[in-house]
Copies of this chain bind each other. A is one copy, B any other.
Amino acid sequence: MTRPSLLNFFCVGNRTIDLLCGRASVCRLHSSQTMRSVASRAVSGFRPSKVAVVTKTTRCEFEQQRYRFAGLSEVDLTQLLALKGSSYSGLLERHNIHTRNVEHIVKSLKKEGIEVRVVRRGEYDEEVVRWADAIISAGGDGTMLLVASKVFSKDKPIVGVNTDPERSEGHLCLPVHYTHAFSEALERLQRGEFRWQWRQRIRLHLEGTGINPTPVDLHEQQLSLEQHHLAHRITTLERRRDDSFSEPNLLPVRSLNEIFIGESLSSRYINMSKPWHSFCSNPVTFPKHIPSPALTSPSLSVQHRVKYKSLDPHLTFSLHRASYYEISVDDGPWEKQKSSGLSICTGTGSKAWSYNINKLVEQAVEDLLKIGKLQTGLDIPLDPGFIEKVTEEYNQSLVFSPEDQRLFFSIREPIVNRVFSSIRQRGFAKKVCVRSRCWDACMVVDGGTSFEFNDGAIATISISDEDQLRTVLL
């Protein structure tokens, strides 16, 4: 129950030796050799007194809350979901599985005399982080990303438990086995039969932004929605003259998976170019509008929505817009790029979005090897087993260690033409600088938080050991 006061040696692979000295400090020595300390099994393990358990919102809860205000009965909800092809009872089942697994975690913790605080996603904040000795994420990978997003200290361990292994991948969570045997996980932690996994994270510096107005689609002549931003744009100009925005600012976020940069594909002005029903023979009510923050009354009529739509009957917005930017890798020369976005990931993130951007499917590998075979006349195998093997090896080469200090950048769907150069489509780096040439772009951190990243803004993306996230490897 007491915090370890002895020095503990843990083996953490061939890069570091951890010295866990009480609570206040963690010293780390880097060693390129693998060492196994004889003392590792005899030392105290990890024994937090206060643990916060952050739980995900299940889809069932979400759907229930959505209709809470409408006073729908469960029967109504069931019907409504059925109309959409969803099964309310199915959602309820997943919800119950999650809830049982959370209860199991809480019980196991309490049995050890640990003070437990169960915190829902929406309630999780820095105060919880300060309070806890350790934080357990009870959900899927998304919940882990949320939990990590509020932890800025290397001293605060995070443990992920996958509360619905049949539905969630849980890459960031403990092996599925421990979902139903959390006591066992706890024992191992207490006995020190684990090692710390120091997941590197990305930090972001941003400069040259000032206040960016919302650009209107180039296609659209009507700029009335833009006007109110002009005052701010002028302010930008004036401020720039004062040179008061030239310092790069370190943003208050650390990315565990990746930074994704791209046109935000803002739906703000999504609307059909004309009231569609002037064409359509079978009128269906198709309102698509931007909710005004003032219009929160449930009694809002359809009529009002139609009125809003007519404010901009000709406004169309290009949803798919290529992202334009300039990129400099490891202080190399700036290169213009046009693509559907740019991903910069950690080792942890190399199994996430970046993986999906870069991986090949067997169908593509087969097509390519067929061409290779035709072109060379060599007897390249094309049987499914071989295709699978080659595909798997290729895809696995995209994954690297969460503890690796390098970034991995990928240009998603590069558009190569006369104007844009062709630097490597992907590669490792220590530092990546990006200058936006976008109309309405974002930098998205771990798929959850975004920053405006418009024309002229410069982002510097790097990794610092200070930002590591302490997780466990059982």
- Residues of B contacting A356 with CB < 8 Å? 340, 413-415
Q: Which 6 A-B pairs have the closest CB atoms?
A: A84-B456, A252-B279, A122-B221, A320-B447, A228-B300, A266-B267
B425–A361 CB distance below 8 A: yes
Min distance, Cβ A418 to any Cβ of chain B, angstroms: 8
The answer to whether A296 has its CB under 8 Å from any CB of chain B is yes
Residues of B within 8 A of A447 (CB): 318-321
Task: Verify B288–A223 contact, CB threshold 8 A.
Answer: no
Which of the segments A39-47, A194-202, A375-383 contacts the partner chain? A375-383
Say which residue of B218, B357, B397 sits within 8 Å of A413 (CB atoms): B357
Q: How far is the CB of A206 from chain B (nearest CB, A)?
A: 7
Whether B211 contacts A287 by the Cβ 8 Å rule is: yes
| Chain A 274-291 interface residues, beta-carbon cutoff 8 Å to B | 274, 276, 279-282, 284-288, 290-291
Q: CB-defined interface of A254-285 with B at 8 Å, one 1/0 digit per residue?
A: 00000010001111101011101001111011
Cβ of B250 and Cβ of A363 under 8 Å apart? no
Q: What are 26 A-B contacts defined by CB distance under 8 Å?
A: A62-B218, A66-B226, A66-B230, A69-B230, A70-B230, A84-B455, A146-B219, A209-B284, A210-B285, A224-B296, A225-B291, A227-B297, A229-B291, A231-B300, A250-B281, A252-B276, A267-B450, A290-B293, A316-B449, A317-B448, A340-B356, A360-B364, A360-B368, A365-B368, A371-B390, A378-B378
Whether a CB of chain B sits under 8 angstroms from the CB of A86 is yes
Asked if A308 and B288 make an inter-chain contact with CB atoms under 8 angstroms apart, the answer reads no
Given contacts A83-B456, A413-B357, A448-B319, contact A222 B66 (CB under 8 A): no
In this complex, what residue of B is CB-closest to A223? Answer: B65
- A227-B62 contact, Cβ under 8 Å, with A122-B222, A251-B280: no
Q: Does A95 contact B (CB under 8 A)?
A: no
Query: Are the CB atoms of A214 and B357 closer together than 8 Å?
Result: no
Does A29 lie at the interface of the complex (its beta carbon under 8 Å from any beta carbon of B)? Answer: no
A460 at the interface (CB under 8 A from B): no
Interface residues as binary, A311-335 with B (CB distance below 8 Å gives 1, 0 otherwise): 1101011111100001000000000
Q: Which residue of B lies closest to A425 (CB)?
A: B361
CA distance A279 to B66 in the complex (A): 32
CB contact under 8 A between A372 and B361, given known A206-B284, A249-B282, A319-B442:
no
Residue of B nearest to A214 (CB): B291
Pick out which of these stretches binds chain B: A3-11, A12-20, A154-162, A232-240: A232-240
Identify which of A72-80, A102-110, A178-186, A462-470 touches chain B: A72-80
Give the distance in Å from the alpha carbon of A219 to the alpha carbon of B294 in the complex. Answer: 22
Inter-subunit contact B390/A449 (CB<8 Å): no
What are the residues of chain B within 8 A of A321 when measuring CB–CB?
A: 447
A347 CA to B268 CA, complexed, in Å: 31
- When distances are taken between beta carbons in the complex, the residues of chain B under 8 Å from A326 are 85
A133 within 8 A of B: no
Any chain B CB within 8 A of the CB of A2?
Answer: no
| Residues on B with beta carbons closer than 8 Å to the beta carbon of A25 | none
The answer on a CB contact under 8 Å between B285 and A211 is yes
When chains A and B are docked, how far (Å) is the Cα of A448 from the Cα of B318? 4
With an 8 A cutoff between CB atoms, is A435 at the interface?
yes
Assuming the A-B contacts A59-B218, A219-B146, are A227 and B296 also in contact, with contact meaning beta carbons closer than 8 angstroms in the complex?
A: yes
Tell me if A33 is interfacial: C-beta within 8 Å of chain B.
no
Question: What's the Cα separation between A371 and B368 when bound, in Å?
Answer: 13
